Structure 1
Amino acid sequence: MLPAPLTMEVRRGAVAQLGVLLADSRVATSGRVAVAVGPGQGDLITDLIAPTLREAEVFRVADGSVDAAVALGGQLRKGAYEVVVGVGGGRTIDATKYAASLAGIPMVAVATNLSHDGICSPTASLVYDGGKGTFGVPMPLAILVDLDFVHAAPESLVRAGVGDVVSNLSAIDDWQLGNIERGEPFDGLACSMSRTAAEALIGRNDSIESDAFLTVLAESLILSGMSMVIAGSSRPASGGDHEILHAVDQLFPGTSNHGELAGIGAAFCFFLREDSSKTTRIVDCLRQHKLPVTPGDIGLSNEQFTEAVVLAPSTRPGRFTILEHLRLSENEVRGRVADYVRAFGS
């Protein structure tokens, strides 16, 4: 038996019809619903849901930190809520997922952005003590994506979702490498779902301006999250690419966003594999969607990116990827970074 959301809808106007959608899918029948909104669009979202969720209590999530999630969890425990609905971008949804797990109630994700696959993933990425950690949480009970809000979101954040999804291809190769070299258990169904999510985007000629593309992007991000639920870990969507991402976050916080870093990490990992076909395919996709390709595109020097690649394996102890397999010295990494920049720098 496979875990899956009760309902999944990607369309315009999802936020305004939230009450109807929850009732139709039998997620909330009594009306005891808590709604968590982020600081940016909180007032607008509150006004939109008021007509169909009259008795809902709205809570503001200050940021994507552990402290904010714990505070929300405490508020949720005080009320007899059937469900909590997280409405917003990745930080709001992740904080709400964690808060729901603390309160012991189901959570519905209503995404207003498509920057990464946290919409449906069984993890929450939260800031604590100046760093960032990943916490296991239950998968959302239902998922809605409002394309009106997605169109209004910053383009760079929406495009970033493409980088996160296509990095699945690198993660899959790393997982297969771990299976061959270390005998690590491998889940073919989770792998298939993760690969399908990435391939659905790479073959398209349109971009985030169209509802059709955004629908596929949303579905791909959700499918990617579900692949992690099936695998029981982030393995099908997180390999050496995400190790590099986390290292950059640790060393140079605020450098770029999750999806952009995942895309660069994936391209560089394929370059380390000396797989020119896949490297070019990833790079072409990133460029098509105006995503960064080289360290310089996100304001990092070759030396800074080298430092991140060297640190990367320590961010996921026990995970085996192309980085652990090659075990390159710092000088060797420095040389490969220079080669990569020469090959794909603009």
Structure 2
Amino acid sequence: MISSPLAIDVRRGAITELGSLLADRRIATEGRIAVAVGPGQGGQIASDLDLPNCTIFHVNDGSVDAANDLGRELRAGSFEAVTGIGGGKTIDVTKFAATLAGIPMVAVATNLSHDGIASPVSSLEHESGKGSYGVTMPIGVVVDVDYVRSGPQKLVRSGVGDVVSNLSAIADWELAGTHVDERVDGIAVTFARVAAEAVLNRPDSVESDEFLTVLAESLVLSGMAMSVAGSSRPASGACHEILHAVTHKFPGTSNHGELAGMGALYAFFLRQRYLDEGGGRMEEIRECLLRHELPLVPSDVGLTTDQFVDAVEHAPSTRPGRYTVLEHLDLPPEEIRRSVAAYVEAVSR
């Protein structure tokens, strides 16, 4: 059985139908709706909603504490459902809070920065950095292309890096299937691969409504792949180990999607250099990142070579038990340093 949202609406003007979606009796029978909004466009959208019985809550950060606080308020208010309106942090907090409260959640994305829109995972900040938590996937997903277009282009472009990184995650999963006998779910792989391939070689970009629609649908499909797998495995491999290591060691560096894309490119470079495979895929990913003005090398996100080497060394510890090309190669520190120098030389603009 495959879990799927009841409704997925990706188009211009989609937000105008949000009230009708929330009135669906499979979501709420009496209309007691909570609306969680982020610091960006969420507040404006919420004020425009025709939902007389809704209560608005403000989500100011993407922390575990914020999610727990919202969860307590949702339980205390006896709400039937909650909708999270905003970017990735707001949606992740709302997913976690809805799971704590045991009520359905509708995700309304105002940007396309990563694949958390429809995934069963919340990435939340805590005292020691950032962690991933299993949650119930949204019962409905709404992406209004008009609102996405009016947001920062940088965030939209970063979604490209996140969805394309699925290809690295899939290669890592298949590697684990071969070498440590990990079970690989073919349906989850199909969803994750189709999501990445839909974006990888498209010649248009975020200026196009058609591209934004495909990107949004790909991010939703990537989230569904994780739901099928029961974990983030089809969308998170060495690419995300590196991402989380950078975030932990050098907070504030770039953003999720940009780091995921660069991590995927480095992971395929390792495959080409040490396993003599993946060279064609590496070039496809490099061209895609270039086309969408995404970072390729550490200096593009403000990291020194030493800092990136440090992050790669630390990366496997961010996901204990996950087998990727990093664990497979198990390179000593000096070889990691040589590989990073060769990578920078190979893929620089």
Structure 1 Cα separation of the partners of residues 32 and 25 of structure 2 = 15
Instruction: Give the equivalent residue in structure 2 for 1:11.
Output: 11
The alpha carbon displacement at 1:54 in A equals 1.4
Q: Which residue of 2 aligns with 1:297?
A: 300
Report the secondary structure of 1:15's partner residue.
Answer: helix
Aligned position for 2:77:
79
Q: In the alignment, is the contact (CA less than 8 A) between 2:67 and 2:94 conserved in 1? A: yes
Structure 2, unmatched stretches of 5+, are: 273-277
The equivalent of 2:136 in structure 1 is 138
SS state of the match for residue 36, structure 1? strand
Question: SS at 2:89's partner residue?
Answer: helix
CA–CA separation in structure 2 for the residues paired with 1:219 and 1:25: 25
Residue matched to 1:230? 228
Q: Write out per-residue CA displacement over residues 82-112 of structure 1, whole angstroms, 9 at most, x where no aligned residue.
A: 1000010000000000111111111110111
Q: Any unmatched runs of 5+ in structure 1?
A: none
Partner of 1:48: 48
Partner SS, residue 334 of structure 1: helix
What is the CA–CA distance in structure 1 between the aligned matches of 2:309 and 2:11, rounded to whole Å? Answer: 42
Paired residues of 1:7 and 1:25 also in contact (CA < 8 A) = no
Separation in structure 2 between the aligned mates of residue 169 and residue 25 of structure 1, nearest angstrom: 38
**Of residues 184, 187, 205 in structure 2, which corresponds to 1:186?**
184
Deviations 1:130-153 (A, max 9, x none): 511111100101111111210011
Question: Does residue 1:129 correspond to 2:132, yes or no?
Answer: no
- Identity among equivalent positions (%) equals 60
| Number of the residue aligned with 1:251 | 249
Q: Counterparts of 1:62-211 in structure 2 under 5 Å?
A: 62-211=60-209
Name 1:39's counterpart in structure 2. Answer: 39
What SS is found at the alignment partner of 1:124?
strand
In the TM superposition, residue 24 of structure 1 has moved relative to its aligned partner by: 4.8
In the aligned structure 1, how far is the partner of 2:220 from the partner of 2:45? 22
Q: 1:234 to 1:43 in 2, by over 3 A?
A: closer
The match for 2:323 is 320
Q: Distance in 1 between matches of 2:196 and 2:107?
A: 22
- SS of the aligned residue for 1:99 comes to helix
**Distance of 1:16 and 1:70 partners within structure 2:** 30
Whole-angstrom CA distance in 2 between matches of 1:277 and 1:43: 45
SS at the partner of 1:16?
Answer: helix
- C-alpha distance 255-329 of structure 1, shift in aligned 2 (>3 A): same
Please state whether the residue corresponding to 1:176 is helix, strand or coil: helix
Deviations 1:220-264 (A, max 9, x none): 000000001001111100000100000000110111100000000
Runs of 4+ in 1 over 4 A off after TM superposition: none
CA separation of 1:25 and 1:272: change in aligned 2, threshold 3 A? farther
Provide the rounded CA distance (Å) in 2 between the counterparts of 1:9 and 1:131: 33
Which residue, 322, 331, 335 being the options, matches 1:332?
335
| Contact in 2 for aligned 1:6/1:25 (Cα 8 Å) | no
Q: Indicate conservation of the 8 Å contact 2:122/2:133, yes or no.
A: yes
Structure 1 residue 79 displacement after superposition = 1.5
- Cα distance change, pair 43–236 in 1 and its aligned pair in 2 (3 A): closer
TM-score (norm: length of structure 2): 0.96
Q: 1:283 to 1:67 in 2, by over 3 A?
A: same
1:291-339: per-residue Cα shift (whole Å, max 9, x none)?
0011111011111111111110110000000000001011101001000
State the AA in 2 paired with 1:45: I
Q: Does the 8 A contact of 2:106 with 2:140 survive in 1? A: yes
Question: How far does residue 26 in structure 1 lie from its aligned partner after superposition?
Answer: 4.1
Contact 1:124 1:134 in 2 (8 A): yes
> Secondary structure of 1:17's match?
helix
Take 1:304 and 1:240, find their aligned partners in 2: how far apart are those partners? 17
Q: Deviations over 1:18-49 (max 9, x none)?
A: 11222257423321110000122343122211
Cα gap change, 1:42 to 1:203, in 2 (>3 Å): closer
| Cα distance between partner residues in 2 of 1:309 and 1:242 | 11
- Answer yes or no: is the 8 Å Cα contact 1:15–1:48 preserved in 2: no
Q: What count of residue pairs does the alignment treat as equivalent? A: 344
Amino acid at match of 1:6: L
C-alpha separation in 1, matches of 2:107 and 2:160: 19
